[in-house]
């Protein structure tokens, strides 16, 4: 290790408390990790960025129950990228969704080899869905990486994150409308307008979730309720056909097929995802113990990815097993109802993000009252 170089700051997590001897083992792991993480950067002539405690960063960066491991609130883009190789309170958030992106890309590439996405219109809903389940974890990973460049960049990063989640819900609606709709609802008005309503839902979802960021400091409870509602509402809408199929369409031929168990696993993980997002457990019960590993946002990311995996498996099973019946009883998916809806959704979401970003940047006096730096004992952070 280079002279003067310090290993990255790591807090002792809960494992120390859970098992005797765990602390010594953990210290050994920390030494190895510090050497692995520190030597290459040291030999390349730069140091990993310094980390801060909660009272040293502006309120906008502070997370409930997370005491340490904060990055500099005015990090450069390079520092943000470097910090993903350093143990901070965001590192696992970044990697859980970055690795998930590659997993879904790999699944997508396998499907490209077995399905004809170009000419077979029956596969277009799946094409849109696969694109969006690659997009949302990638956007999230980027948002977590670059969210400490400035308070404004933090808000804009998460505007994009919310936009990608909103588009993912649109992708769910397109596939559910095409492959999951119960037999008894096929060709009804709901089936006909399902995607159009879902496009409208993305406006509500992205608009509400972006707006909730502007309320975060002054009205944290209201902000949390609004943001949760913004994501729960399109989820419930998308899953109405599935709920009806699983709970009420017992007599239908495809109500309980091989996809049902995967659909149920997806719903369980979706519930867990929502619970973790709203509860801030476990770090709320033991502030400071889960700063680096095990806090609710990391578990939230993992549950979201596992849930999406089961959802993808369920959709593939439904798409395959119901293809003959759907081909006979419904119109094949149209370009307008699949790729067209995606393009419209992307444009509308970019428009909403542009409006909120412009409002944030152009009216400094109306920025969230969160940018004052506490900077106790850390003069370099004062703005």
- Which residues of this protein are in contact with Zn ion, per CB under 5 A? 140
d(CA 120, CA 136): 25
Strand partners, 79: none
**Can you tell me the distance from the alpha carbon of 13 to that of 289, in angstroms, rounded to the nearest whole number?**
5
- Judged by CB, which is closer to Zn ion: 62, or 261? 62
**Quick one: 137 or 337, whose CB is closer to Zn ion?**
137
Task: Give the residue with the Cβ less far from Zn ion, 295 or 371.
Answer: 295
Task: With beta carbons less than 8 A apart as the criterion, state whether 250 and 233 touch.
Answer: no
Token digits for 210? Answer: 């972006």
Asked if residue 309 belongs to a known ligand binding site, the reply is no
Cβ closer to Zn ion: 231 or 310? Answer: 231
CA distance 160 to 124: 24
What would the two tokens of residue 232 be? 């729960």
Q: From the CB of 140, what's the least distance to Zn ion, in Å?
A: 5
Of 6, 26, 31, 28, nearest to 15 by C-alpha is 26
Shortest Cβ 292–Zn ion spacing (Å): 16
Distance CA 232, CA 148 (A): 27
Tokens encoding 69:
């491991």
d(CA 328, CA 325): 5
How many helices and strands, by DSSP H and E, does the chain display? 12, 0
> Please, what is the minimum distance in Å from the beta carbon of residue 290 to Zn ion?
15
**φ, ψ of residue 268 in degrees (nearest 5):** -60, -45
Q: Which one, 293 or 381, has the nearer CB to Zn ion?
A: 293
CB of 326 to Zn ion, least distance (A): 35
- Backbone angle region of 21, left / alpha / beta, with phi > 0 → left and psi within -120 to 50 → alpha: left
Give min distance, CB of 296 to Zn ion, in A.
Answer: 10
In the complex, minimum distance from the CB of residue 195 to Zn ion, in angstroms, rounded to a whole number: 27
What is the torsion angle, in degrees rounded to the nearest 10, for the CA atoms of residue 51, residue 56, residue 61 and residue 63? Answer: 90
Q: Is 72 annotated as a binding residue?
A: no
Cβ-closest residue to Zn ion? 140
Residue 347 CB neighbour total at 10 angstroms: 9
* Annotated binding residue 144: yes
- Is residue 52 helix, strand or coil? strand
CA 101, CA 159: separation in Å to the nearest integer? 19
Q: How far is the CB of 93 from Zn ion (least distance, A)?
A: 5
3-state secondary structure of 225: helix
Comparison of 160 and 176: residue with beta carbon closer to Zn ion: 160
Beta carbon nearer to Zn ion, 86 or 145: 145
Annotated binding residues for Zn(2+), as ranges?
144, 297, 301
Annotated binding residues, as ranges?
144, 297, 301
């Amino acid at each position: 290790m280079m002279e003067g170089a310090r290993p990255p700051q790591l807090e002792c997590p809960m494992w120390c408390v859970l098992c005797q001897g765990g602390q010594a083992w953990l210290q050994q792991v920390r030494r190895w990790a510090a050497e692995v993480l520190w030597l290459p950067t040291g030999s390349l002539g730069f140091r990993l960025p310094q980390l801060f405690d909660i009272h040293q960063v502006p309120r906008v960066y502070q997370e409930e129950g997370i005491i340490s491991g904060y990055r500099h609130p005015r990090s450069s883009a390079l520092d943000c990228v470097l910090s993903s190789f350093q143990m901070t309170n965001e590192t696992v958030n970044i990697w859980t969704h970055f690795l998930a992106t590659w997993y879904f890309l790999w699944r997508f590439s396998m499907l490209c080899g077995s399905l004809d996405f170009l000419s077979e219109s029956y596969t277009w809903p799946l094409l849109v869905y696969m694109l969006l389940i690659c997009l949302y974890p990638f956007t999230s990973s980027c948002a977590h990486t670059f969210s400490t460049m400035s308070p404004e960049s933090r808000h804009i990063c998460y505007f994009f994150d919310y936009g990608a989640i909103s588009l993912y819900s649109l992708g769910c609606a397109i596939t559910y409308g095409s492959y999951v709709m119960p037999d008894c609802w096929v060709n009804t008005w709901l089936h006909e307008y399902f995607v159009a309503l879902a496009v409208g839902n993305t406006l509500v979802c992205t608009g509400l979730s972006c707006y909730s960021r502007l309320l975060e400091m002054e009205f944290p409870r209201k902000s949390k309720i609004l943001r949760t509602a913004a994501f729960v509402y399109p989820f419930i809408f998308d899953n109405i056909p599935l709920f009806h199929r699983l709970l009420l369409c017992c007599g239908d031929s495809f109500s309980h097929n091989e996809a049902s168990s995967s659909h149920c696993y997806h719903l369980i993980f979706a519930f867990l995802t929502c619970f973790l997002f709203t509860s801030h457990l476990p770090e709320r019960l033991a502030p400071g113990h889960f700063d680096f590993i095990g806090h609710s946002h990391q578990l939230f990311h993992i549950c979201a990815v596992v849930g999406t995996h089961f959802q993808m498996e369920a959709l593939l099973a439904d798409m395959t097993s119901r293809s003959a019946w759907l081909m006979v009883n419904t119109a094949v998916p149209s370009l307008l109802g699949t790729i067209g809806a995606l393009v419209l959704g992307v444009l509308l979401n970019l428009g909403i993000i542009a409006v909120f970003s412009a409002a944030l940047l152009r009216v400094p006096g109306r920025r969230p009252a969160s940018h004052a730096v506490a900077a106790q004992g850390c003069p370099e952070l004062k703005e």
